[in-house]
Structure 1
């Protein structure tokens, strides 16, 4: 120990001591610690011993501290040598290059993907002919619109709200994205700051999940999209994929949901509100928001407008005068209840056909997928007033009288109807059934029931158009006389056929006009053979019926094929249109941003001659004025002189009943169908339904179908019109004949009676008259001669069974047999 150290040690001990003699050197080398211990051990005297021990311990501590300091210094040296500024800079640059390289690889290997399935889903929008909303069809209430349909000032509201630098940036906010990545890694949740481009990429190409991978993809795709697409393209995508609340995706759906207008009618204040909504759609809906929510959205609305002024997109004076827009109360989107579902389904079916016909889709299945994908804006031809009137007529004349609790058969009655404008081909009204949610089959378009005698005008049209002749080589006209004997075998057919007339009535020799009025099966079976059944079916196809799978056999003359009210309305519309083809269409206009398709042209070329078509029309006026439809149509108090041509039909076993008829301006086909209410819903009889018809209770075409037709047609007709006919045949051009004497009151004469003298029609035991009458039967038999209708027989009915004119009927006069 040195002197100075000893002195300090003594001072610490409280007194000074004399220097001690040095201990003898050890014979062997010793460490510093060992020397200290030896000195302590050999220190003489008590005082010396204590001093030596204390000094030795202090020296040991000092030596330990020095050793630790040297070790730390050496470690620091090693660290400094390992992390020099050059090495640190090099490492940093290396990491930067690695990140850049990884980003380049990510950029090169990440393509712009197809839109995600959820973002592609859109609703199909259906509108009435006047543009008012009918329905939206789809799980997602979305309707894309072109940016050109959004006013420029309204476009700016979204840019002002979300991304003022949108038109100048590269599509990415690196600062905001970095912050978002860090917050995601640290588990702090979603963070804002994304550009419009990034938000669009997230909505359309990716998902809403908060992951680092998704955010990196968002960054890369946004950069690529900004390079490859225009700003308008991105902005359009953004406003069409964003969610605005109230179940509305896209600006068009939002415009309707909040203001009841299309996007092209939006004002700047309205647009600013929609742009403000994007921050918190549910919270900012002022109709349901809390006071805090209303305050926040108002602040946000002002923020949007102020930004527009700042960016010179809005004049400050205009901004000062703007008031917060008035918002509509929320309501549920129209559903598929009632007739809506039938109309939507029929419109979709027609659109699918057009997609295939115009080459947009390769198959019906592909077309159906396109329609179901959504995004279609379809304006239907349906007239809202006529649609409402048709529904009311069906309820008033039929469904309101049905009571399944009293009569089981009432549950089996289905009604269908289609109404067409013959000049344009537009379907102006359609009745598909009681309710689409209760009966999904559209009775207006179904083709599984026989049209029965409503097919007879087609046979006559074929005869007149083809210039057909009888077995005696006489040209066929409306005055050609045929043998109306029931069960008479047809002549000239390789296939034997002898149809039974209604109630097995023998009419004897009758002209075609009377045979049409009375719906004589045996006459039209022979007429079909005379024309040639192949030609009859060819004419049927030309007029609009589906005959592809039909065999050209005489039995088809009874209307045993399937047909729908819509098809039959098209056939009769072609007759009404003087032989120019009318294909009923439900679609007035259609729009889709991804697919180009045009509505079908409903008016075609001449498929039968005008003279033939007009002659059939003329003959069919006799069915109304002298035949099976007179009680429901001719004598209807609403008729007011309106000219009508039409035909009734009642199928075998009374499974269907029809009335298809037209005025010069409107064609409507009404069908009643017997369908069991119990699965698997087989066809059943209508007989006994409503309980209104006594006796056999058969539902004939001249009954409820004709009543529905008359109530609807005469109710919507604004003026009385007359047929412009180019013909000298048929009841419509006959001169009136003097009334026949009768001691009982006769029915009101038709407006244009036939010139033939009345005569009674034969019974089975009587010889047929040579000149059958086409004059109207009386309500009651006269006292001078028998009724003009033959008595009924007990033979089973075949094709049609009319109501008995001798049986009293509630709410209608006695009607001739159908």
Structure 2
């Protein structure tokens, strides 16, 4: 739509058909005069013209209007007279009467009989591009040399029609009055202009502009006067003095339109806005009359400054910019609200450039005029600018000195002022826009309000953290551990400030319009497009939190040989039972099981305390949605324990992470553990502001909620953190500057759908430092794949590539942000080591060590057998044949061989004449 509400190209003006079957592009450059009239780039009437009317008794005066679709009557009756418009359809050849009649009298000015004329291209009766003799040219002025007699006859008819139309126009005041009272034209309310919503990052840099139109509405009183005067000079220099209708312009337009001259609408600024506000798009004199009535009503209701404000906020000025503020920002990187004389205020020359674009912002898509955007048609733009500057001088809106010193300013190239911090169409950060829209809805900002625009949304995204997340997780990053992996692999990296819940960095994939691997949220910000992923052993942090609520200590022991209720074996990811827990599989302590990530204690905890307690802990930490094996999404915040246990939705495998969750919710749960058991809702929006329509300034509207909720006991959480603090070293992940970190790895097996479970399908590494909670997932893109490390052979585990991404991410953030080194709270050991829920067997007693008898080196035995008494009386042989203590931690427990082999002939003390072997197979 152009400035006048008419369809054009994508954004510029294109020809609009009238009532004829076809229409020509208007504003043929060849028809321009040296001084273009206001609204010169307008539409032809485009159809047949008919004039008819009759005077009615008692002083009624009537004038027929062309193609108005009714009877046009204008006049003044001293007593009881009537002036009416639009009672019926006036045929061609009717009678046109103008005058003021006494009572019962009749005033007749003329009777114009006009024969019907054929519709012609452009509505002016001219030759169409395919008419004989047209020579392929469009419009009346391009008929070529071989103009037919019929064409000449049509031209004469049009001239006669134009003459009659001029008579109608001369009585314009009466027409307007008649229409005002009898046509029932309503004054439309000023339109609320849709404008863009500006999305900022945490440091105030623009991330994106969302909305149907790039527009910023500004109050008229704040707009630089040079801008307002330049627009009047370019479009309607008599704006401040006329009554809303330019009669001379209408007469000229009527003549030109009907005689094939310049196709003009001769609209004032008020009429242009009236046409837009009332959505009057058709080209006809009926529309022109209604437009005039509305313009008069606008002028009676609003002052000139208000009308100028309406106009400046709706006009289109090319390159996707709607409204004067967007244009000033785009072409000059300035605001029209900066007062004149101040730094970066719009100058008169710059104002004239903006105003000169209005006439035709973009090239004619049909190959006509190229418009007045200096980036695409500098020559014409400068000519139009000179015209505007000259009118500004004539109207004394600039001084002679300013005019003489004029210099055409340099405008920004289309890509020169391109937003370097914006998400664009291909940057991963664009993924957060769907989360922004979702949170705006949660703030009760409706879709209608969002579409209307004018919101400035500051997000929580820290550009440094965002850059680190993308560098660590994207395959496109040469420094990422993902770089050399197959394209079928995908990562997600999420960084949250655990003390506020603010999402600082979010990488959910390279395509911002594709699958969001960080949350599986739909592109429109509603619902899920997937069912998440199995968190594996990383879910154990919630099982442990649930166990702590039941006073279970990390010193409790658990029996890995214990079967499931159905007799099945609890999977430990293929670990050799003889090597589990250093051979102590029947009495493995919970701390070791957590670090080594064995599954059986967590299954047994869920079985003992109830799997619903695990789900409750996960919900309290931040997990909202969990998917069953059948794909049912369960909202933990809207269901209860009875629902979770019914119909076999969840089993005890919940204890070690079988059921799917989405990374973002898991990241919130991880942040709760990092934040000492206090949960803050993960969110992407810090503040929302909107424009005050009276001042044009941004005012607060909505704000984040950062209040936390304690969901886990601080001391118990410190106990959990103390165990998790041992995992980074176990995974060989060390952070820069020796920072303390807590973590948990997780892996879930690959299932090819044929009950053939092998390798890894989902891998995780989660945790963080006191200032940053970090969650990393690596799995298949679009579908599950069997994951291997870069060598293509080794199975991938959470402690592999995911842990490396996690380490790289945190190191990059702490370096970029220059974060101070902070520690977690001192560990407080909690819980009951003899919990009733523990399943571990009693470990066997320690092996008995038999000491050899003490022999006096001076005794007779030593004199008889000196080789047996080389040591000083303890009987131990340290030449390799004495104590032989071997602890085999790779096998089935400790293997202690010994007993102090001391062989003395005739000795009767136990152990002195034999070798005792004790095998501990825990």
Distance 1:371 1:177 in 2: 40
Q: Deviations over 1:173-197 (max 9, x none)?
A: 4544555455555554543653333
Q: Verify: 1:289 aligned to 2:377, yes or no.
A: yes
Match of 1:567, SS state, is helix
TM-score by length of 2: 0.58
Give the alignment partner of residue 606 of structure 2, picking from 519, 525, 528.
Answer: 528
For this pair of structures, how many residues does the alignment match? 610
- Larger helix proportion, structure 1 or 2? 1
Distance 2:685 2:100 in 1: 79
Q: Verify: 1:617 aligned to 2:721, yes or no.
A: yes
Change (3 A) 1:540 1:302: same
Change (3 A) 1:277 1:456: same
Give the alignment partner of residue 414 of structure 2, picking from 306, 330, 333.
Answer: 330
Q: Verify: 1:729 aligned to 2:829, yes or no.
A: yes
Give the alignment partner of residue 655 of structure 1, picking from 733, 739, 761.
Answer: 761
Distance 2:845 2:261 in 1: 101
Give the alignment partner of residue 353 of structure 2, picking from 269, 273, 278.
Answer: 273
Aligned to 1:485: 560
Change (3 A) 1:611 1:85: closer
Distance 2:182 2:262 in 1: 24
Deviation at 1:564? Answer: 2.2
Aligned to 1:564: 662
The structure, 1 or 2, with the larger RCO (C-alpha pairs under 8 Å, 6+ apart) is 1
Distance 1:197 1:566 in 2: 53
Deviation at 1:401? Answer: 0.3
Change (3 A) 1:288 1:485: same
Change (3 A) 1:441 1:206: same
Change (3 A) 1:173 1:84: closer
Deviation at 1:243? Answer: 1.5
Q: Verify: 1:388 aligned to 2:477, yes or no.
A: no
Change (3 A) 1:612 1:252: farther
Deviation at 1:607? Answer: 3.1
Aligned to 1:246: 319
Give the alignment partner of residue 598 of structure 1, picking from 702, 705, 719.
Answer: 702
Match of 1:560, SS state, is coil
Match of 1:397, SS state, is coil
Q: Deviations over 1:737-784 (max 9, x none)?
A: xxxxxxxxxxxxxxxxxxxxxxxxxxx9x997899xxxxxxxxxxx96
Deviation at 1:105? Answer: 5.0
Aligned to 1:24: none
Aligned to 2:743: 646
Change (3 A) 1:289 1:457: same
Q: Deviations over 1:375-400 (max 9, x none)?
A: 55433322223222222222323332
Distance 2:426 2:892 in 1: 47
Give the alignment partner of residue 691 of structure 1, picking from 777, 784, 791.
Answer: 791
- After superposition, residues 578-593 of structure 1 pair within 5 angstroms as 578-592=676-690
Aligned to 2:574: 503
Match of 1:598, SS state, is strand
- After superposition, residues 240-639 of structure 1 pair within 5 angstroms as 240-261=313-334, 264=337, 267-269=345-347, 270-282=350-362, 283-290=371-378, 292-300=379-387, 302-303=389-390, 306=393, 310-311=396-397, 324-331=408-415, 335-355=424-444, 360-361=445-446, 367=447, 371=450, 376-394=455-473, 395=477, 396-402=479-485, 410-436=486-512, 440-446=514-520, 447-464=531-548, 466=549, 468=550, 475-477=551-553, 479-485=554-560, 488-489=563-564, 499-504=570-575, 505=577, 506-507=580-581, 508=585, 509-547=587-625, 548-549=634-635, 551-552=644-645, 553-592=651-690, 598-626=702-730, 630-631=731-732, 633-634=733-734, 639=736
Q: Which has the larger radius of gyration?
A: 1
Distance 2:376 2:511 in 1: 33
Q: Verify: 1:198 aligned to 2:198, yes or no.
A: no
Q: Deviations over 1:175-228 (max 9, x none)?
A: 445554555555545436533333233345425553323333332333344445
Change (3 A) 1:527 1:194: same
Aligned to 1:761: none
Distance 2:246 2:430 in 1: 47
Change (3 A) 1:719 1:98: closer
RMSD over aligned CA atoms reads 4.2
Distance 1:417 1:136 in 2: 25
Residue pair 1:545, 1:568 contacting (<8 A) in 2 also: yes
Deviation at 1:621? Answer: 1.2
Residue pair 2:201, 2:458 contacting (<8 A) in 1 also: yes
Match of 1:399, SS state, is coil
Deviation at 1:93? Answer: 13
Deviation at 1:305? Answer: 5.5
Distance 1:189 1:715 in 2: 65
Give the alignment partner of residue 671 of structure 1, picking from 777, 780, 785.
Answer: 777
Deviation at 1:238? Answer: 2.1
* Structure 1: unaligned runs, 5 residues or longer: 1-82, 362-366, 403-409, 469-474, 676-680, 731-763, 772-782, 792-818
Distance 2:264 2:511 in 1: 49
Distance 2:592 2:100 in 1: 117
Moved more, 503-512 or 416-425: 503-512
Distance 1:323 1:701 in 2: 65
Distance 1:567 1:709 in 2: 17
Residue pair 2:721, 2:827 contacting (<8 A) in 1 also: no
Residue pair 2:216, 2:323 contacting (<8 A) in 1 also: yes
Residue pair 1:114, 1:205 contacting (<8 A) in 2 also: no
Deviation at 1:557? Answer: 1.6
* Structure 2: unaligned runs, 5 residues or longer: 1-98, 112-167, 339-343, 363-370, 521-530, 626-633, 637-643, 646-650, 694-699, 751-759, 831-839, 847-884, 894-922
TM-score by length of 1: 0.65
Deviation at 1:671? Answer: 1.0
Distance 2:401 2:254 in 1: 42
Q: Verify: 1:714 aligned to 2:811, yes or no.
A: yes
Change (3 A) 1:411 1:154: same
Distance 1:84 1:336 in 2: 67
Distance 1:684 1:122 in 2: 42
Give the alignment partner of residue 214 of structure 1, picking from 281, 287, 291.
Answer: 287
Change (3 A) 1:238 1:532: farther
Distance 1:770 1:715 in 2: 50
Match of 1:670, SS state, is strand
Deviation at 1:483? Answer: 0.6
Distance 1:453 1:273 in 2: 64
Aligned to 1:104: 180
Distance 1:611 1:163 in 2: 76
Distance 2:391 2:761 in 1: 66
